[in-house]
Structure 1
Amino acid sequence: MADVKISDGKYTRFKTGLKIHYESLYSTVQPVPCIGGKRYHVNDLYQSVGVVYLKTNRPAYRGPLWDRLESYHSILNDERVKSGKRIIEAPQGYGKTTLALQFAFDWCKQVKDSPMKDVDIFIFVQVKKLSHVKSFPKLVKRMFFQQDSKITEKNVHNILLKSKSVLLLVDVGREDIGNYIKEGSDLDRIIQGEVYPNFEVILMTRPLSLELEPQVKRLKLIGFDKKAQENYISKSLLDSNQAKLEKTKKIILDNPVLGDLCKVPLLFAVFSHLGHGNDNISNFTTLTNFFNEIIKSFHQQFRKHGALSEQFKHMDLFEGAHLKLNKMAFDRLVEDNDNAEWELDEINSLLDRNFIEKYLKTGILQLDENILVELDSTSDGMQYEKTIRFYHNILTEWYAAHYLVESVHKADELKEELQEGYVFDVLDNFEPSQVQCLYRFACGINSAAAKHIINYLQEYEDNVQFSMLCRVEQTGSVDGILQNIKEMFAREFQVHDRDSAFGQRTYIQLMEIAAREKICISRLYLNETFNTVCMYTGDIILNTHVRLPPLQTLESIWIERSRVYFLDEDIDGVFFYVSNCPNIKIIYFGNCFLPRSIKESPNLAILRERNVAVHWFPSVNWYYLNLTSRTWERNSARNPLVDRDYDREKADFDVLLML
C-alpha cells in the first residue's frame, strides 16, 4: 500500500468495516424471496452467467461483434477488456447484483484464483435515487460506517486517495444514468476520471442505447445457457434423491414454453426452487398454467415458512382478492412497462395494509430504500425514500393480465359491430414486443378474452406468428397449432434483418416447439441476420443478439450476408452449429465471400463424416465444397475453382463493396 497519512489501524478498521458490511449481504442470499428462513452464501449458489464484450477489430459494415469471455473473472483480468472504466449491461434479472456479491465474497475471502485478491479496496454502491448526494466520502461514511465514530469522512477520503488500487462497482440499475448520478457530483467526477485517479470503475446498468467513448469497455451479461442451468440445479438443489433432481431438470429445461424465460437467471432460480418437488407443474403445457403454479407456490411457501399471525389466517382471501393490484399493475404498464414501482405512501393509499404486508412477506412485492437527499453537513444521516415494486416485471405482467382480461371481456357486452373497436382501443395501449407475457397470460386466463386478443394480433402481419403462441395458451396444448407449424416449416422459412428481436424470439420458440414435436424444419433462411456463432454454446447469434440454439429437426440452413467477407473463424463457427444439428444435410452461403480453402477442424470432420453438402453463391455462379480437399468446385460439374477464377470472383466482390 502506498504511504497513507493515517494510522495503519484506521486503514485496517476501514477494510474490516467494509468486509463486515459485505458479509451481511453475500451470506444471506435468497434465490427465492419466499423460502422462509433459508439463506445461502452467494458462493454456494453462484453460477457464472454468460459474459460477452464488444470487439472493435472488424469492419463496421459487419455490424457489432460480441465475443464471449471465459468467466466472470475475465471481467477484471482479461487483457481484451482492461480499462479504467467498464460498463456491464444486463436486463432485469440477469444477475448484476449477484455478480457484485460474488466479487465481494472473493475480495473478503481473498479467493486464490480470483483477481479480486489483488484489489486493495473494493467499494460496491447500489445507486438508485442518489441524485442529490454530492460528496463521495460522505456517501461511503453514511453507507458503511454510520455507527463507527472513529472513521471520519477525512479518513475515508485519504484511504481512497492513497490506496494502491480501488475497484468501485456502481449498480446504476436503469439506462438513464444521468438521472441517478448528478452532473458535478463526486460520483460523476470519479466516473469521468477527474478525481481519485487510482479508481477502476465498473458501472452496471440496463441495456444502453447511447454512444460511449472508445476507452470505455462495454460488456453484457447474456444469461444462462443449458450448461449453466444444469449446473445451477445440481449446485443449489441439494437433494439426496437423484431421481427427484433429474425430474426437476426435465420439467424446467426440456420444455420450450419456458425456453426464453429460463435464460433469465433470476427467473430460472425461482422456477427451479419452486418447481422442485412440485408435482402440479410436472405436466404443464402452457406458460399460464406453469406460472399459475409458481404464484401458488409463493403463497404456499409463505404459509409453510411464515409466522401465521392472526390477520393471515384466511390465506385464500389474499391469494384471490387482488383486483386492485391488477389495476395498479395494468395502469403502470400503460405508463411505463419498465418501471413498475410505487412510493410507499402512494401504495398505502391504494391497497389494504395487511394485503401489502402479506405480499411483501411472500416476496411477490419488494420494499426498497433509496437514498433521496443528502442532509446538511452537521447531520449524521440521510433521508430515504421507500418504494414498493414487483419482484420481477413478469409479475407485473401477470397481475396486469388479469385486469386486461376483465377489460377485454367487456366487449362481449357490446353490440357485435362495436366489439372490435373497443378491443383495439384497449390493446393499443401496449406493444406486444414489450409485454409478450401479458398477452400470453391473458389468453391463458380466459379463453373468451383470448379470441378477441388473437383476432387483434392477426390484424398485424408482424404479430401473426406470435398469435400462434397465444393460441397455445388459449387451448392448453400445441395440438391446435401443429398443422400451422407443419405448414410453416415445410417450406423455406425466413428470419429477416427487418424482424424485431421480439419477432425473432417468437420464430425461435415456434422452431423449438417443432423440434420437440419431431416436425421437420425444411430450410431456415437467415436473411442478413447472421452475426456470429457462440463457440461455447453452439448458438447462432443474430443481428439483434437473439440466440438461435441448435435444432434437432433442421434439415438445411441458408446464411445470406451481403458484402461480407467470412473469416476462417466464421466458417468454423457455422460448422460448429451444424455439427450440433444432426439432421442438417445442406449449408448454403449467399452473397458473401469465403476463403479460398477451408481450414481443417474437428467440426469440418463431423460434416465430412455426415456427408453434409456446402454450397456457396458469391454471385451468379455457385460452388460446392469438396470436404476432402477442402477446396471449392464449380457447381454440378465439380471442376476445381482455379486461382484465376477465384481472383476474378474476389475482384467483382470488391467492386460491390465500393458501391
Structure 2
Amino acid sequence: MDRKSKEEDGQEDAAAASDPLVTPNLEESILKNRMEQFKAELKTEYEYSYRSIRPIPFLEKQYPVQRLFLDGGVEYLSKDQTKHQHRWQKLDSYKDIFNKNVMEDNRWIIEGEPGSGKSFLTLQLTYEWCANDEESCLCDVDILIVVKMRQLSGVSSIYEAIKCFVLSKDSNFSIDDIEEILSEAETSLVIVLDGIDEYPHHSLSNHFMNIIKKIILPKCKLIVTTRSGKIPQECVDWTNLVRLTGFSTETQEMYVREVLTSGNDDETLNVIKEWLPSTSILYEFYQIPLIFVTYAHLSHETESELLHFTSMTSFFSHVISSFYSHFDNKMECAYMDSGFVTSEKHNQEFNRLSFQGLQLQSESPQWKKDLLIKEIGESFIETFISIGILREEERISNQTEEPLSNSEVIKIIKFYHNLYCDWFAAHYLADVIAKVDDPDIKSDGDEGLEILEDLDPFTFQYLYRFACGLNPACAKHILDYLSHVECGDVFVMLCLLEQRGKVDGIKDNLREICSRTLQMRNQDTRVIQRSVLQLINIAAREKNVEQLWFEQNGHEMTDIELDGILSFVAKCKKLKKVRFNYSMLPVGFHRRALLTLLTENNVEVLWYPSEVWYRLNLNSGTWEHKIDNTDLTEEDYNRVVSSFRDINV
C-alpha cells in the first residue's frame, strides 16, 4: 500500500469515527481493519531483524533465526516451596514459559549472563509470532511488541518507542493511534522489553517501570530481559523469574549438526566434541552460547590452532585475531587496502575508553559517534565496525518534553558484545596495574591499585581474568586484591589458571583452596555457581578432592540429576565420599555399571534428608539405615518423603 492510499484510509477512518450514522458493526470493522494493518506493518519490520543473522560478525553466510536457534537450558524460580526459600527448577523448553501453573502472574523477567541468548530468544519468539507457529507460546497472541531498551534514550513511553523504533519511518500510525490499538488489544498483547539493564534512565517512576508494575497496560503479558544481577529488586516478589543457563553438551552437539554440518558430517562433529572435554579450564566458558558458537565456527575453519588453547585469554585472543585476519582477507579480495594498521596511541586510547565506559556506564558502554571520532579517529571506528567488534545504532537525542517530531536522531557506537568490551578494557587495566612496580614511574603504588575498587569482580569476572592472562606483573596484584574479597577464593584460582594456562605449577594453590569448605548455594549467582563447578572439576581431575557435599535445602532431586552427579563422582579416582544434605533423593539408584565403578573406587554415598541419615548400598542400589544396615522399606521411604515435605512447605 502506498503512502497516498494509507492517508486516504486514515481520513476515511476519522470520518467514520465522527459520523453519527456509522453503525457499531461498521465501526468494529474499521477497528479490525486498522488492527490488521498495524499487525501487518509490525511483521514486515520484524522480518528484517530475524531473517538474516550472522552467528559471528565476519561470516559471509547469513541464516534465519529459526535455523540457528536451539532450545538451551531454561529454569524458573519456584515459589511453592517454603515461605523463606525458593528454588530454581528446570523447564523442559522456553515454550513452557507461559504454561507453568506456578507462574500465575502476567509479568516475566528473563535473566541470563552476557552471551546466554536473551536477545536471541526474543528474535525466535518474534519469528514464531510472525509465522503463526501453532506450537509457540505466542500462538494465541494478537499483537507482539518488541523494543530494545538500549535505544530509548529520550523516549518517554512505549507508544513513542513503537513509533520511533518498531514501525517503519513512513508509517501513518500516530502515537495516539498506537496507544489506542494497544489498549484495545490489551488482553491479547505481549510486550517484550529487551535488555532493561541497558535502559538509559533508571528512575523507578518512569513509564516503563509502570508497565512492569501493572500501572500501565495491566492486562497484557510482559517479558523483560536483563543480565543476571540486574533485576529491579522491588519486582521480584510478584514477577515470574526465568533464567537461561546456557548450552548443555547435547545442545552443543545439536548446533554443530544442524548449522555447521547440515546433519551429515559426523567427522566434524566428533572432532569438535573430542576437544571440549580436553580443555577443562574452558569447559564452563563454552557453555555460554555466544562463546560456543564462536568456538564451533572457528574450529570448523582453523581446527589445528584451537588444540592449543588452555585458557580463556588464549582463546579470546585467537577470536579477535581471527576477526582482524578475516577483515584483511575480505579487503584483499576486493583489491582494497584494509587500512587496519592503527597507531599504538589509538589502540591505547581505545582501551582506556573501554575501561572508563565500564566505570561510568556499567556493563554496556556507548558513545556518540561524532564525539568518539574526535577521540580516536573515524578510520579506527569504521574499521572496528566492519570487523564486527563495534556496531552503530540510531537513537533519539530528545531529552526534553518537546514534541517527538522535533527530536534529533543521533548515531551511537557500542560493542558488538560486552565480552569484547571486557577484552579491550582488560588491556588498559593490565597496563595500569603493571606500572605500579615500575621504578621509572613515580607514583603512589596504593593509588594505582585503587583502580581495582572501581569494578566489582563478580560483575566483571572476565575483565579480571583477561587482565591476569595478559600480564603476569598485573596478575599478582589482582590475585592479592581478590584474596581479600568475600568469596574471592574461587576467582583467585580461575585467575591463576588464566595466568599460567595449565594446572601444572598451581597444584599447591588448588589444594589449599579445596582444603577449605567450598560451597555452592541456591542463592549464589550463576557466575559463582559455574566458577565453583569449574574449580571442582579441575581439582577432581588433579585428584585433589576427597569429599563432596551437596546441600540444597528443600530440593527434590530427580533420577537424572542423581545419575549425573554419581557419574561425575565415579570419574574422580581419589574421591571417597559424597554426601547429600537436606534434599530429597530418589527411592534408589539401579544403574548397575555405575554402581560397580563406585564400588571399585570404594566411594561412600550418604544421604541426610534431616538429622537421620542413610547410606546407599552399592550392591543393591537401595538406601539402608545407618545403624543396622537394613534396607529402607517403601513404607519408611514414604514417611521420609512426607516428613521432608512437611518441613519444606
When normalised by structure 2's length, the TM-score is 0.79
Deviation of the 1:346 alpha carbon:
2.9
Q: Cα 1:181–1:90, aligned 2, differ >3 Å: closer, same or farther?
A: farther
Q: Does 1:53 align with 2:38?
A: no
- The answer to whether the aligner puts 1:638 opposite 2:615 as a matched pair is no
Residue of 109, 115, 128 corresponding to 2:131: 109
Asked whether the equivalents of residues 282 and 310 of structure 2 are also in contact (C-alpha less than 8 Å), the reply is no
Is the 1:493–1:525 contact (alpha carbons within 8 Å) kept by the matching residues of 2? no
Whichever residue aligns with residue 70 of structure 1, its letter is D
Q: Taking structure 1 as reference, are residues 181 and 237 closer, same or farther at Cα in structure 2, changes over 3 Å only?
A: farther
Cα distance in 2 between the residues matched to 1:441 and 1:10: 53
Inter-partner Cα distance in structure 2 for 1:655 and 1:427: 47
Corresponding position of 2:272? 248
The equivalent position to 2:225 in structure 1, one of 204, 229, 244, is 204
1:470 corresponds to: 495
C-alpha separation in 2, matches of 1:373 and 1:344: 16
Q: Is 1:17 aligned with 2:26?
A: no
- 1:126/1:242 CA distance change after superposition, 3 Å: same
- Give how far 1:579 is off: 4.4
Aligned pairs, number: 612
Letter in 1 for 2:67: D
The answer to whether the Cα contact below 8 Å between 1:54 and 1:217 also exists between their aligned partners in 2 is yes
Q: Distance in 1 between matches of 2:645 and 2:40?
A: 62
Moved more, 187-196 or 110-119: 187-196
CA RMSD of aligned residues (A): 4.4
**1:231 & 1:344 partners in 2: Cα distance?**
39
**Partner SS for 1:373:** coil
The structural deviation recorded for 1:440 is 2.8
Distance 1:144 1:482, change over 3 A: closer
Q: Which residue of 1 aligns with 2:239?
A: 216
Q: Name the aligned partner's letter for residue 363 of structure 1.
A: G
Q: CA deviation at 1:460?
A: 6.4
The CA distance in 1 between the partners of 2:324 and 2:277, in whole Å, is 24
Going from structure 1 to structure 2, the CA distance change for 1:200 and 1:4 (only over 3 Å counts) comes to farther
Structure 1 residue 65: Cα displacement: 0.7
Deviations 1:233-255 (A, max 9, x none): 22222477543343334445642
Give the secondary structure class of the aligned counterpart of 1:349: helix
Deviation at residue 324 of structure 1 after TM alignment: 0.9
1:333-352 to 2 correspondences below 5 Å: 333-352=358-377
Q: State the SS of the aligned residue for 1:479.
A: coil
2: CA distance, partners of 1:641 / 1:143: 63
Bigger shift: 276-285 or 151-160? Answer: 151-160
1:109-508 alignment runs, 5 A limit: 109-128=131-150, 130=152, 132-134=154-156, 136-148=158-170, 150-153=172-175, 155-163=177-185, 165-175=187-197, 179=201, 183=205, 185=207, 190-194=211-215, 196=217, 199-207=220-228, 208=231, 210-212=233-235, 215-238=238-261, 242-252=266-276, 254-278=278-302, 279-306=304-331, 312-317=337-342, 322-373=347-398, 380=405, 382-414=407-439, 421=446, 424-454=449-479, 457=482, 462-464=487-489, 466-482=491-507, 484-485=509-510, 494-495=518-519, 501=525, 505-508=530-533
Residue number among 93, 98, 108 corresponding to 1:71 in the alignment? 93
Q: Bigger shift: 496-505 or 37-46?
A: 496-505
Note the residue ranges of structure 2 that are not aligned, 5 or more in a row: 1-24
Moved more, 217-226 or 406-415: 406-415
Aligned to 1:587: 578
What is the Cα deviation at residue 492 of structure 1?
7.2
> Does the 8 Å contact 1:129/1:372 carry over to 2?
no
Partners in 1 of 2:55 and 2:65 — Cα distance?
9
Rounded Cα–Cα distance in structure 2 between residues aligned with 1:332 and 1:290: 24
Alignment correspondent of 1:27: 51
Structure 1's unaligned 5+ residue stretches are 532-563
Q: Answer whether contact 2:511 2:544 (CA < 8 A) is retained.
A: yes
How far off is 1:391 after superposition?
2.1
Matched position secondary structure for 2:435? helix
- How far apart, in 1, do the equivalents of 2:644 and 2:221 lie? 45
SS in 2 for 1:317: coil
Which residue identity lines up with residue 599 of structure 1 in the other structure?
A: V
Aligned to 1:535: none
Contact residue 465 and residue 506 of structure 1 kept, 8 A: yes
After superposition, the Cα gap between the structure-2 partners of 1:642 and 1:413, relative to the gap in structure 1 and judged at 3 Å, is closer
1:521 to 519, 535, 545: 545
Displacement after TM superposition at 1:574 (Å): 4.0
Shift of 1:206: 2.9
Give, in whole Å, the separation in 2 of the partners of 1:638 and 1:72. 44
1:6–1:158 CA contact under 8 A, matched in 2 = no
* CA deviation vs aligned residue, 1:42-96 (integer Å, no higher than 9, x gap): 00100122221111111134x2211111112112333333542222222332222
What is the rounded CA distance, in whole Å, between the counterparts of 1:476 and 1:133 in structure 2?
47
CA pair 494-448 structure 1, distance change in 2 beyond 3 A: closer
Q: Deviations over 1:111-165 (max 9, x none)?
A: 2322333222222122235365445445434444444455455554454343485
Worse overlay, 395-404 or 47-56: 395-404
**Aligned equivalents of 2:240, 2:294: Cα separation in 1:** 32
Task: Decide which moves more: 156-165 or 415-424.
Answer: 415-424
Q: Comparing both structures, which one devotes a greater share of its residues to helix?
A: 2
Matched residue SS, 2:569: coil
Secondary structure of 2:364's aligned partner: coil
Change (3 A) 1:311 1:56: same
Distance 1:66 1:499 in 2: 9
CA distance in 2, matches of 1:325, 1:460: 29
Aligned counterparts of 1:13 and 1:654: Cα–Cα separation in 2: 53
Return closer, same or farther for 1:348/1:148 CA change in 2, 3 Å cut-off.
Answer: closer
Counterpart of 2:20?
none
Query: Aligned in 2, Cα 1:141/1:407: closer, same or farther, shift over 3 Å?
Result: closer
Q: Which residue type is aligned with residue 101 of structure 1?
A: L
Is the 8 Å Cα contact of residues 412 and 419 (structure 1) preserved in structure 2? Answer: no
Deviations, residues 557-612 of structure 1 (Å, cap 9, x unaligned):
xxxxxxx5665x4788445522453246643345x4869xx635656996589556
Separation in 2 of the partners of 1:70 and 1:452? Answer: 44
Letter in 2 for 1:513: I
**Worse-superposed segment, 187-196 or 251-260:** 187-196
Q: 1:10 and 1:466, CA in 2 relative to 1: closer, same or farther beyond 3 A?
A: closer
State the distance in 1 between where 2:537 and 2:68 align: 29
In 2, the alpha carbon distance for the partners of 1:243 and 1:59 equals 49
Identical-residue share of aligned pairs (%): 28
Give yes or no for contact 1:311–1:354 (8 Å, CA) kept in 2. Answer: no
Aligned residue identity for 2:93: S
Name the stretch that deviates more: 284-293 or 449-458: 449-458
